[in-house]
Chain A
């Protein structure tokens, strides 16, 4: 518990540091990179809540991201202030989570994963048909586009995600959720309302993912409305969370930094291979190092400890 609080403090401190970056650095590509990391952190943490802490591998996660993006974009372009639009996006995502959650949670394990994947795809295809045209910002919005605004919004959102996960992990609610993850039947027998907890986790996860989607909609100048529904957003969240350390607070943050930097580095040298490397890395992690970078770090620390005489 205390580890979570300590890490939250460290991360928020780091974020505070990032807040100062736009004052010193005026290069768009740096700000864009950090933006990408922050967006990834938010999305990964949102997935971490349902998959890491609640133990339910949701492969349709992009649906929440996409809904948040769709609602935000539509409302914002229509004149609604962006923060209100984003809130609305999150609410719609949460409503969707609640609506499908009851049915979806009748499935366990791999079947939940497959079922949610199917649901996510249904949403993507339907959106792609109903909103087939590319969504482009009106000229006025493009002219008034300020990256630093979006940068700070991303920072706030990532901080929010970290705080939410920390609060969840250290609360009674979080205890119930992890108990359900470990052994749902045993938890039920101890009086835990497993379905209620899983739904809570799913809705919270959807809220954060929906906000992340809203941020996406606010950030990009033009994209196809079905793009944020694409399963590759789910897979990104999955990769980042697992590589970093699923079920921990700082795992997704480490994972996001690692992932974005590695992708950027590989994109310049070995185009197209970054996915191959991530795929292979992922397999290695699942087989040998399921705790991801967090576990790697802890093993290193344990290796070094005997050398420190106290």
Chain B
């Protein structure tokens, strides 16, 4: 029992990162109807950004978020301008198919680039306070992971505020619901797309930073994180920022429970089974509107 509750808490904490990663993907998919399957690679790049800022300049990873976030936003702007901006010219079904393919090519290219630049070695950030552990009853909670969870939640809350209080945030939500009605209301839908894509990419970069400090990164983590994000998006459905975050937490806990019940190697399987089951049985997800 002691070991189980410890596992579940750890699962809960990484679930927060799953949620953050998924919210970025969900924003892009919900607004642009584009499935960027290179999302995981963007997370990976964010992680390397934080890693090198730490290794070369000694920046604390939580502080370097202040750099990685805007850089990721810019990367998102660039990717939209160069690639995904063209994808949105087609109708919805073609968009999804094309973005799937283009995202795949992008993922391939980014992963190869990362291997070329930084080798395939696994990296992690070990800060001076990395070893600090909070003892709560029988549980040992690594401070770094707890902080990551808190930051993830804070970012999600900030996004929620942006989407509700900021004029363009509301415009983004409106575009997601009905882009033609949005046009009629005077919203420049192309700009809404650009902003949503940039925000989603920014969140991916931030997630990557948190992954690099509490866990580890390597060029090949892309596919895994894209899959995790997809699982959460499908599980939670589109339309609710906090719902997606909760979906992430659920996945993290489900993985921990599965690992405890069937053994470590089967941790990954439960998420995959969930996504397949949900797609077939309840496509709108747990919190989805459609």
Q: Quick check: do A and B touch in the complex, using CB within 8 A?
A: yes
A residues with a Cβ closer than 8 A to B are: 57, 103, 106-107, 109-111, 113-115, 117-119, 121-122, 125-126, 128-129, 231, 235, 238-239, 242, 272-276, 278-283, 286-287
User: In the complex, which of the residues A57, A114, A274 contacts B279, with contact meaning CB atoms closer than 8 Å?
Assistant: A114
Check if B102 sits within 8 Å of A287, measured CB to CB.
yes
Q: Within 8 Å of chain A (Cβ to Cβ): is B236?
A: no
Q: Within 8 Å of chain A (Cβ to Cβ): is B272?
A: yes
Check if A57 sits within 8 Å of B107, measured CB to CB.
no
Check if B112 sits within 8 Å of A118, measured CB to CB.
no
Check if B109 sits within 8 Å of A280, measured CB to CB.
yes
Write the nearest CB–CB distance from A284 to chain B, whole angstroms: 8
Check if B227 sits within 8 Å of A118, measured CB to CB.
yes
A57 to B93, CA, bound (A): 13
A278 to B108, CA, bound (A): 8
A111 to B230, CA, bound (A): 10
Check if A113 sits within 8 Å of B100, measured CB to CB.
yes
Given A272-B116, A279-B106, A286-B98, do A118 and B272 touch, yes or no (CB 8 Å)? yes
User: In the complex, which of the residues A125, A231, A278, A280 contacts B265, with contact meaning CB atoms closer than 8 Å?
Assistant: A125
Given A128-B265, A279-B107, do A231 and B223 touch, yes or no (CB 8 Å)? yes
Write the nearest CB–CB distance from B103 to chain A, whole angstroms: 9
Which residue of chain A lies nearest to B223 when distances are taken between CB atoms in the complex? A231
A109 to B35, CA, bound (A): 12
Q: Which residues of B contact A235 (CB under 8 A)?
A: 104, 108
User: In the complex, which of the residues B83, B96, B110, B223 contacts A110, with contact meaning CB atoms closer than 8 Å?
Assistant: B96
Q: Which residues of A contact B273 (CB under 8 A)?
A: 118, 122
A281 to B101, CA, bound (A): 12
Q: Is the interface of A mostly helix, strand, loop or mixed?
A: helix
Q: Which residues of B contact A283 (CB under 8 A)?
A: 83, 102, 105-106, 109
Q: Which residues of B contact A276 (CB under 8 A)?
A: 108-109, 112-113, 116
Check if A119 sits within 8 Å of B276, measured CB to CB.
yes
Q: Which residues of B contact A238 (CB under 8 A)?
A: 104
User: In the complex, which of the residues B35, B102, B116, B275 contacts A286, with contact meaning CB atoms closer than 8 Å?
Assistant: B102
Q: Within 8 Å of chain A (Cβ to Cβ): is B269?
A: yes
Write the nearest CB–CB distance from A173 to chain B, whole angstroms: 24
User: In the complex, which of the residues A114, A119, A128, A280 contacts B105, with contact meaning CB atoms closer than 8 Å?
Assistant: A280
User: In the complex, which of the residues A114, A126, A287 contacts B269, with contact meaning CB atoms closer than 8 Å?
Assistant: A126
A107 to B276, CA, bound (A): 10
A57 to B101, CA, bound (A): 10
5 A–B contacts from the bound complex (CB under 8 Å):
A110-B35, A110-B96, A121-B227, A283-B102, A283-B105
Check if B108 sits within 8 Å of A282, measured CB to CB.
yes
Lowest 6 A-B CB distances belong to which pairs? A279-B109, A279-B108, A282-B105, A275-B112, A276-B112, A283-B105
